[in-house]
Amino acid sequence: MNELLKLIEKNARYEVKDLSACLAEDEGVLNKKIEDYEKDGVIAGYHTIINWEKADVEITKAIIFVSCVPERVAGYDKIAERIGRYSEVESLYLISGKAEFLLQVNGKNMREVSNFVAHKLAPTEGVNGTETMFVLKEYKKYGVSFFEDGNDGERLLVTP
Amino acid sequence: MIFDEEINQTIRYIKPSGIRKFFDIAATRKGVVSLGVGEPDFITPWHIREAAIHAIEKGRTFYTGNKGLPVLQEAICAYYKRRFHIDYAPKENVIVTVGGSEGIDVVLRALCKPGDEIILPTPAYVAYAAIIEMAGAKVVEIELKEEEQFKLTPEALKNALSEKTKAVILNFPGNPTGGIMTREDYAKIVPIIKESGIFAVTDEIYAELTYEGKHVSIAEFEEIKDRVVIINGFSKAYSMTGYRVGYILGHKDLIAMFNKIHQYTIMCASTPSQYAAIEAAYNGDDDIEEMFQSFKQRRNYIVRELNRIGLKTHMPQGAFYVFPSIKCTGMSSQDFCETLLEEENLALVPGDAFGQAGEGYVRISYAYSLEEIKIAIEKLEHFLKVHS
């Protein structure tokens, strides 16, 4: 497993000089590696995990199953590309099971998400059905738990 | 003290742990930053915690057999075979103990007769010498040297041997030095152990935290395997210190003797904790790997930083401690740590708590987040500037 990627996947804010100490690698070498990963799309972006509820900002999220018929030659990729272009779509997966795609969609409110489904997603060429589930509460995102009273075990100050 | 004359005189004259004393001072202060802890900072992985909860839910809260749950004995033997390639039989060669600590006590009490000598490489974990003395035997120290990467050398072992020697204690990777022994290192001392007919008591609690190459147990050497007693446990590898589950592995006739002490003093290890340990032994290899990587990165970080701020620090090959020399400051390790706590509110452990051989050193634990280590390094850097 790539140690560098694993480290910055958990915390994108590590400084290169600290990464260099932890991984016992030269700073210049690491900078070059990161640059190459960015160029090659291995590092596809840097995001911050925000608990919007706590920030008191209202956003509406929905999980949507999308059924569709694959196209000749291009299969599902062409339809995925069409759906993925919408900025409302936060994540998009081809899945096994009852539908072909699973989407995570963000909007300011329910109406905005509904409009997206009715006017943009459902009429997309190749799409023949959608099932929308609104998210009521987020508990954990990208491996980070939003529970506050999780762990309160305390270590002693000095032990043998 | 009022009961001094009535109490067992051996206990009376045992020195209280130097760490305990230091803890008492640190505990009176507010906002102390500490790199003084001898346990991992990770919370026990959830699947292991859940196994303990499930055991309680199912009412698995009765005593187990003295030597532990048979499934756990099997899990431990399978683990030793899988990770370290050593065969032990679940029914004959294992006792599940209350942490490695009970293992140390049981083994040393069973082996030591009054007048026996036990060879103890130091600086060493604080419990060995005290338990040896409580058992009425004499500690013969071998000083492990920084310039030899804190390894036990054949010359030092030979010099320490006498007619009265009963056993040598091995703790590699070691607390507090982080020193390890490779297969080649052991190959040099195995013939001495074989020839002299002593026991090798090997505390392998930090085995999974071996950074260069894999951990080698001295029990791998078939020619002395019958005279090797392994003490290990779940605390450090799976971050399960509070569960108190350890074990002893050894020859069946020794195990039968050890079990006499264990059954009369302890009865058995905590039952829900034993169920958690089964889950760890069978399904915890990935957890070991994840924590290992994290400790290795912190080790690299802290060694570079300590050397940068002027504390000469040897790169330890195991455990989660660094043991830098503070001789450049001219202070004793007690003075250094007490002044550091006083002036910077930073708690480290003075090296002499681990025996006289630790004088001139301090033990720094890196079982802390990088952020905590950074703050501690800043404090230490400031302290060194003021005192240089």
Same structural domain, A132 and A75: yes
Q: For chain B, give every domain's residue range.
A: 9-44+286-386, 61-283
Q: Which residues of A touch B34 (CB under 8 A)?
A: 157-158
Check pLDDT > 90 for residue A150.
no
In a domain, A119, yes or no: yes
Q: Which residues of A touch B27 (CB under 8 A)?
A: 157
Q: What is the mean pLDDT of chain B?
A: 96
Q: What is the ipTM of this complex?
A: 0.85
Q: Give the model confidence (pLDDT) of A99-108 as tens digits.
A: 999 999 999 9
The single residue listed with the structure tokens 């634990």 is B365
Same structural domain, A35 and A91: no
Distance from CA of A138 to the nearest CA of B (A): 20
Which tokens go with B360? 């001139």
Which helix (DSSP H) or strand (DSSP E) does residue A80 occupy?
helix A77-84
Domain covering B9-44+286-386 in this structure, CATH number:
3.90.1150.10
Answer yes or no: are the C-beta atoms of B336 and B329 closer than 8 Å: yes
In a domain, A9, yes or no: yes
Which residue range(s) make up the domain with A81? 60-137
Indicate which CATH number applies to the domain containing A117.
3.30.70.920
Same structural domain, A19 and A88: no
With a CB cutoff of 8 Å and minimum separation 6, the contacts of A7 are: A14, A19, A22, A23, B297
Q: What is the share, in percent, of chain B residues with pLDDT greater than 70?
A: 100
**Is CATH 3.40.640.10 what the domain over B61-283 is classified as, yes or no?**
yes
What's the pLDDT score for residue B25? 87
Q: Give the model confidence (pLDDT) of B35-70 as tens digits.
A: 999 999 999 999 999 999 999 999 999 999 999 999
In a domain, A84, yes or no: yes
In a domain, A157, yes or no: no
Q: Which residues of A touch B297 (CB under 8 A)?
A: 3, 7, 22-23
Q: Per-residue pLDDT averaged across A34-55, rounded?
A: 94
- How many whole angstroms separate alpha carbon B226 and alpha carbon B14? 32
Same structural domain, A94 and A34: no
Put simply, the answer to whether B305 touches A21 (Cβ < 8 Å) is yes
Same structural domain, A75 and A30: no
Same structural domain, A109 and A74: yes
Q: Which residues between 29 and 48 in chain B have a beta carbon less than 8 angstroms from any beta carbon of chain A?
A: 32, 34, 36-39, 41, 43
- How many whole angstroms separate alpha carbon B178 and alpha carbon B321? 6
What's the pLDDT score for residue B381? 97
A153: confidence class by pLDDT, cuts 50, 70, 90: confident
In a domain, A50, yes or no: no
- What 3-state DSSP class applies to A19? helix
Q: Per-residue pLDDT averaged across B110-139, rounded?
A: 96
Check pLDDT > 70 for residue B92.
yes
- How many whole angstroms separate alpha carbon A71 and alpha carbon B45? 45
Question: Between B384 and A71, whose confidence is greater?
Answer: B384
In a domain, A159, yes or no: no
Same structural domain, A33 and A83: no
A71: confidence class by pLDDT, cuts 50, 70, 90: confident
A1: confidence class by pLDDT, cuts 50, 70, 90: low
Q: Give the model confidence (pLDDT) of A111-128 as tens digits.
A: 999 999 999 999 999 999
What is the number of structural domains in chain A? 2
Q: Give the model confidence (pLDDT) of B168-193 as tens digits.
A: 999 999 999 999 999 999 999 999 99
In a domain, A34, yes or no: yes
Answer yes or no: are the C-beta atoms of A157 and B34 closer than 8 Å: yes
Q: Per-residue pLDDT averaged across B5-21, rounded?
A: 88
